[in-house]
Every structure is written in C-alpha cells, then in structure tokens.
Structure 1
Amino acid sequence: MHIKRNYTTFQMAWWTRFETLLFIMIIITWVALYYFLDLTWLKIPWTPLALIGTAVAFVIGFQNNAAYGRIWEARKIWGGIVNTSRTFGAFVQDMVNNDYAQAPMTDSALQKEISALTHRHIAWMTALRYAMREPRRWETTVHHKTNQEWGMRPPEKDAILEDELKPLISESDYAYVMGKSNKSTAILYLQSHHLKQLKEKGVLWEFSFLELEGIVKELFTLQGQSERIKNFPYPRHFATLNHFFMWIFVLLLPLSLVPQFAEIGLGIIDNSPLIGKIFMWFSIPFYVIVAWIFHTMERIGRTGENPFEGTANDVPISTIARGIEIDLRQNLGEPEDRIPQQFAVIKDTQF
C-alpha cells in the first residue's frame, strides 16, 4: 500500500507539472521585480485577497461536490445495470421453457432462444458503453496533454461498434440496429419483440412475460439515466467562472505574499542581515504550494464533470460491461475460448 500511495503521489505531481512550472515562473518573476527594482509600493492588502481566496475555495468546493455527485450517480446507474443484467440472465434461463407450451420446442431450440436473448442483452450493453464514450463538445479533459501522454485510452477507441455487435446478434437484427441513431434503444425494442413472440409460442408464460418486460422497462430507465448524465453537462457558467476565479486569485496572490515576506525580512535584518535581505525569496515555495493546491483541486473538479469521457478518473463502464458479459456467457455454459477476457488494467486504472 505504501508503494502504491507513493506512485499515486508521483502521478499527481507529474499530472500537474506544467502548471507547477508556470507557478514557479510567476513567483520568481514577482520576487525578482521586488528584489532588484525595489517595487515595495506594488502591493495589495491581505483582507481583499483573503476574501477572494475564501470565495474561490467555496466555488471550487461546490464544483468538486457537484462533480463527485455526477460520478457517484453514474456509478450507481451502472451498478443497477449490473444487478438488472444478472437478474435478466437468470430469469431468461428459468422462464423460457415448455411448461405452458401447446407445441413444445426441443431443448436445443429453447437453448437457442435463451442464447439469442442473452447475447442481445450483451449487445445492448456494448452499444450503450460505446454511446457513452462518444465525444461531446464540452468534454475537453481527455485532450489535455497530461491526460494523453500516459498512453491510456478506453477500449472503445481501439475497436469499432460494428465489429463488436456483429458476433452478438443476427444479421436481420444487425441491419435493424445499424439503421437507428440510438442503437441501444433499438436493441431493447428487439428484445421486447422477441419476448412477445416467445409468449405467443407458449414457451414464455404470461406472468414470466410480464416479469421480463418489467426488466426491459428497468433497462430503459437505466439507459435514460446514463444518457442524462452524458448529454447534460455540468453548467458551463459554473465551470468557466470557477476556472477564471482561480486564476485571478493565483495571479493576485504574489502582490500580498511577496511584500509580506519582505516586511518579515526587514524585521529580522538587524539580527540576521543576510537572511533578512533574502527572506522575500522564501515566498517562492509557499506561493507554489498554495497555487498548486487551488489549481489542482479546481482541475480535479473539471476532470470529474463528465464521468463517461474516458479519462483515468471516470466510471469504468467498459470493465463493468465486460464483467457482466463474462458472467452471462459463463452461466450459459459457453466454452472458455469463446468468452472474452476482461479488459486490461493500465497503470492501476480501469476503463
């Protein structure tokens, strides 16, 4: 655990290194101006700066709480998809049978129907996770250089949806789904139509049909909730103003911090002439720490605004969907060589 914490700390420091270097340049410039040009008159009182800093801390805290709320809601939605998917897989296997059929089907034919329903559900999850990975104009975090240099990207960027869906559904279903803009919804329509056909054949009892239709309804609800988070961004006026307010505070901070350290130096110059003369240079590490904390907290909030964007801090919907797929296929009794492997964990990160 200690090694992992150190590794995470290093990642955070490396993730923000460009801004940290900028903060170092800003404060060194201000200290140099004060030291060499004697700009002791260029300062602002601590009181207005403290008010600005307090306001910035509040808005950043509000942004982080809202962003975490979006991430947590997204995780609960996909947790619901996990539970509902397992329930659907179990119900299909137990409810599709000849108990009430007027023209009983063979065991192989029943298994084919069960397999079709299960694979179509896997296709629905696949289509949904691809839809959640589609870029939106307000999703810009993934394009930041420090979010790309690690070489980490979600699996949906390395394979196309068409290739993923073809092995899961029939050719007629594939043609129907690919002709629709919302492919996840189209798959659930097909699922409902199939259940109705099984009911009419008598291999699905009336009450079983209602139970499974209830699950399809729940899947529509979960899909809609996931789409709501994806398509409704964190309000841009909050996000943009937070960013600007943070930079206003960071740029004004040297006008109070450097003169304060200069005054402290003048107070000790009689007893320690050398230290008193250069004491204002000690403001550099303190400024960098304060600016880094404010900036990093604001950037963490921006990173968490869109939990399906595909960055390292998002909800791992690809891993969740693949885990459900593995469970469903194993419970169908498929051979291991036909069951896909779980997506790899890259640098302690799941996608």
Structure 2
Amino acid sequence: MHTKRNKTQNEKFILWPKNIGYILIIWSVVQTLLYQYFNLKWIALPWTPIAAIGILSLLLFSLKNKQIQRHRIQTEVLWKTIVRSSSTWNNFLQNNFNLNAETYEELKNRHLAWLVVLRYQLNKERDELALNESAKIQDELSRLISQSEMDYIAQHKNSAKQLVALQSKRIKELFDQGIIENQQYLTLLGHLADYYDLQLRCEKNNSYNANSILAKVSLLLVHLFILLLPFGLINEFQKLKPDYVLLTIPLCILISLFFIFTELHAQKANRLFEFKPKQL
C-alpha cells in the first residue's frame, strides 16, 4: 500500500500552523515598518477594494465550507452503510454455504481487510498523522490477510480495489471447485459489486472539496486578501493617527489566522472513519 502522502490542493497554498504564524508576523511587520520608518508611503492602498475582496472571499469561503460539510455527511452515510451491510455479508457466508472454517475465515477476513484499507484511504489525505500510522495499518492487515496479498496490494495505488479483485478471484475458484453453486456465486458477486460501487461513491465525495472550482477560487481569493490586508489596514490606521499604523501588525495577524485555521479545520472535518474488525 502506498504510504507516501501527497499534499492536497489546499496544503500547497496554506502552510502548516507550525510555520504560518512566523510568516504572517514577518509579512505584516515588514510592510508596516517600510511604511512607518522608511517613508514608503506609496505602499498604502485604498481600503474599499481590499474590503470588497475580503467580503467576496468570505462569502465563497462560507459556501465552500457548507458544501464540504454536506459531502462529509454523505460520505459518513455511505461509510455506515458499508459497515452495516458487512454484517449481512458475514451472515450470508455463515448460513448459506457449506464452507469449512478455514475458507469462511479467509473470506471474512479479506472483507475486513478491505474495510481497514478503505478507511485508511479515505482518511490519509486529510490526516497529517496518517503516514505515521501506516505501521498500525500494516499490523491490522497482517492479522487478516496473507503476506503475499499484502505485498500484492502494496504495488497498487488503490489497494482497496485490489482486495475486491482478490475476493472476486477467490470466489470464482470456489465456484470452479463446486463448493458454491451458480446462484450463490452470482449473489456473492452482486455483493462485491455493491461494495465496490459504495467505495467509488465514498472516494468521489471524499475528494470533492479539493477538486471543485469553488474551492480553488475561494482559496485564491483568501490568499489574495491576506496578502493585501496589511496595505489596506496601514492606510486606515494612518488616517486616525500616524502612531496607530503599528496596530496593523496584530490585527493583520488575527484576521489572517482566522481564515487559515478555519480552512485547516474544514479540511480535517472529513475525518475520521472509525472501524474495528471485531465489529463483524
């Protein structure tokens, strides 16, 4: 399973909180000092166009976050459907087949492994700790599937999809061996098709916010507003009193941090899908 974490669209533009405070302080301080002590009065900009950008960015920002929340709820419903229907899969295997204990455990555990991998894939893009938790995922999988299957799915980007394919291949082998009948074989394939459809829908909802035009435009406007903010505040404070220009620094940092941390919180809002193998 690929564990290298690719940065999302938002992460490419927004630095992590570990560094962002220093960047904002430096940006605000430099612009303010250039105006106040180096007599670069021309850097001050009218507040009206900057405020207009700020209002527009805030409206798009709010609309985008509402859409993220809606898609998060939809994905959670799909995930709960998958987990709930997994009990149906388990009962179907137990009550409708003449399977020995080893074969039953194999099919059940491979399905559990699919749930574990799918949960990981849905969480890893939004969880900065996902890479560090990969060892835990590997430990979970080692109790459910063989090492050869772990090595096989590790070679593919979409490991959950490969587990569905392995499950389908194993069911075909049981059918060819005469262990399951034709109707049972078709029913099991129907279950797998339903699970894979749910997986695709989860993945689509999960990646919506980073790929939508609204998200990209909103992000660009937010950063444009943050960049222009010191120039507009300088102009407004100097109208009140020249010494008040220094208040640009703390106010600019507070406003910028509000947008940035709200954005980061929205990106983390889609996590985490919890599942424990013992639930089946």
Question: TM-score, normalized by length of structure 2?
Answer: 0.71
Shift in alpha-carbon separation, 1:197–1:179, aligned structure 2, 3 A: farther
1:144-164 CA-partner distances (Å, limit 9, x unpaired) = xxx4xxx66453356659x93
Unmatched 5+ stretches in structure 2: 1-15
Paired letter, 1:259 = N
Paired letter, 1:293 = F
Describe the SS at the equivalent of 1:234: helix
Highest RCO, 1 vs 2 (Cα 8 Å, sep ≥ 6): 2
Aligned to 1:268: none
Deviation for aligned residue 1:252 = 1.5
User: Is 1:27–2:28 an aligned residue pair?
Assistant: yes
Alignment of 1:318-337 (within 5 A): 319-320=274-275, 323=276, 325-328=277-280
The correspondence for 2:169, drawn from 180, 190, 207, is: 190
Q: Tell me the distance in 2 between the aligned counterparts of 1:170 and 1:285.
A: 55
Aligned to 1:168: 145
Describe the SS at the equivalent of 1:253: helix
Deviation for aligned residue 1:231 = 7.3
The correspondence for 1:278, drawn from 240, 243, 248, is: 243
Shift in alpha-carbon separation, 1:130–1:290, aligned structure 2, 3 A: closer
Q: Tell me the distance in 2 between the aligned counterparts of 1:17 and 1:176.
A: 37
Shift in alpha-carbon separation, 1:185–1:33, aligned structure 2, 3 A: same
Whether the aligned pair in 1 keeps the contact of 2:46 and 2:235 (CA below 8 Å) is: no
Aligned to 2:59: 58
Whether the aligned pair in 1 keeps the contact of 2:171 and 2:185 (CA below 8 Å) is: no
Deviation for aligned residue 1:19 = 1.7
Deviation for aligned residue 1:83 = 0.7
- Larger Rg: 1 or 2? 1
Q: Tell me the distance in 2 between the aligned counterparts of 1:256 and 1:176.
A: 57
Alignment of 1:216-255 (within 5 A): 216-229=192-205, 234-235=210-211, 238-255=214-231
Deviation for aligned residue 1:186 = 1.4
Alignment coverage as a number of residue pairs: 263
User: Is 1:258–2:214 an aligned residue pair?
Assistant: no
Unmatched 5+ stretches in structure 1: 1-14, 98-108, 266-276, 305-312, 329-351
User: Is 1:47–2:48 an aligned residue pair?
Assistant: yes
User: Is 1:36–2:37 an aligned residue pair?
Assistant: yes
* Identical pairs, percent: 20
User: Is 1:298–2:276 an aligned residue pair?
Assistant: no
Deviation for aligned residue 1:247 = 2.4
User: Is 1:125–2:90 an aligned residue pair?
Assistant: no
Alignment of 1:69-148 (within 5 A): 69-96=70-97, 110-129=100-119, 147=128
Aligned to 1:310: none
Aligned to 1:333: none
Q: Tell me the distance in 2 between the aligned counterparts of 1:174 and 1:154.
A: 18
Shift in alpha-carbon separation, 1:221–1:246, aligned structure 2, 3 A: same
Q: Tell me the distance in 1 between the aligned counterparts of 2:211 and 2:29.
A: 36
Describe the SS at the equivalent of 1:289: helix
1:285-332 CA-partner distances (Å, limit 9, x unpaired) = 22211111122233444x35xxxxxxxx55334x41xx1x2123xxxx
Let me know the Cα RMSD of the aligned residues. Answer: 4.1
Describe the SS at the equivalent of 2:24: helix
Deviation for aligned residue 1:241 = 4.3
Shift in alpha-carbon separation, 1:34–1:296, aligned structure 2, 3 A: same
Paired letter, 1:263 = K
Q: Tell me the distance in 2 between the aligned counterparts of 1:259 and 1:242.
A: 25
Shift in alpha-carbon separation, 1:174–1:190, aligned structure 2, 3 A: farther
Shift in alpha-carbon separation, 1:228–1:32, aligned structure 2, 3 A: closer
Q: Tell me the distance in 1 between the aligned counterparts of 2:214 and 2:50.
A: 21
Deviation for aligned residue 1:258 = 1.8
1:28-82 CA-partner distances (Å, limit 9, x unpaired) = 2233233324555543222211111112112322333343344333333322221
Q: Tell me the distance in 1 between the aligned counterparts of 2:222 and 2:51.
A: 13
